Amino acid sequence: MNVLLVDDHLLFGEALKGLVESISIVKEVKFASCGDAAIAEMEKMKFDVVLLDISLVNETGFDVFPKLISKQKDIKVIALTSHGDKWTINKALDNGFHGFLLKSDGRSEIEVALLSIADSKPYISAQVNVEELQKVSKTDALTDREMQVLKAICDGMSTKEIANNFFISIKTVETHRANLHNKLDAKNINELIKKAYSLNIIPLID
C-alpha cells in the first residue's frame, strides 16, 4: 500500500510519516504540504490511500478532495483533523471521504484504519461516538439562511433585528424560526439554542 500524507504542519507531517512507514502493509509514504504538492506527487506515482488534513492554511481538505479524486478516481481518502466535532465528521463522510481519523490517534488506530480501507470498508476513529453522529443529521436540511438566522437567534437578536440585519421581512424571519423549531425538534427558544450548541452548529459557523 502506497500512502500520501497531506498536512501543512511539517513537524507533525514528518512524525506521522515515520509512524505510517512502520506499519507492515505500507510500502511507501510520501508527504505533501498542500493540494498542489499532493497532485504533483500523484503525477509521479500511484497511491492507494491519502491521509488528508481538513484544515490546511490556504485551502480546506474539502477543497482538495475533489482534485485528488479527479486525478485518480479509485484513490481512498481519509480525513485527518484535530477537530472531532460531529458536524465536521458528517461533512467529511457526506462529501465522500472514506474514513476519518483524529490527529490524536496512535499508530495502532491508523493501522486498523488502513487495513479497513484496504478491505474497502470505511473507517471512523474509535474516539468518535458513532451513535452521536446521528444527532446532527437533522441539520443537513438547514438552508444557508436558516443557519444565519439560527446564529442570530443564539446571539440574542430579536425577530425585528434579524429582519433588519438580513434585509428581509419580519414574516420571513418568523417562517425561518418556525422551520428551525421544526427541523431541530425544539419546543421553545431555549431548547433551540441548546440544540444549536449541542449539535456544534455555532462553533462551526462562528
Please state which CATH number belongs to domain 142-205.
Answer: 1.10.10.10
pLDDT at 87: 66
Check residues 85 and 6 and name the one with the higher pLDDT: 6
Q: Average pLDDT for residues 137-142, to the nearest whole number?
A: 60
Same fold, 2-134 and 142-205: no
CB hemisphere CA count around 94 (13 angstroms): 13
Q: Is a pLDDT exceeding 50 seen at residue 206?
A: no
User: Would you kindly state where each structural domain of the chain is located, as residue ranges?
Assistant: 2-134, 142-205
Band (67; pLDDT cuts 50, 70, 90): very high
Write down the residue that cell numbers 449539535 correspond to: 199
pLDDT at 141: 65
pLDDT at 202: 65
The class (CATH top level) of 2-134 is: alpha beta
Write down the residue that cell numbers 457526506 correspond to: 94
Residues with Cβ within 8 Å of residue 172, at least 6 apart in sequence:
163
Q: Average pLDDT for residues 63-70, to the nearest whole number?
A: 94
What is the DSSP annotation of 95-163?
TT-SEEEETT--HHHHHHHHHHHHTT--EE-TTS-HHHHGGGGGGGG--HHHHHHHHHHHTT--HHHHH
Cα separation, 49 vs 99, in Å, equals 10
Q: Average pLDDT for residues 40-48, to the nearest whole number?
A: 96
Write down the residue that cell numbers 440585519 correspond to: 165
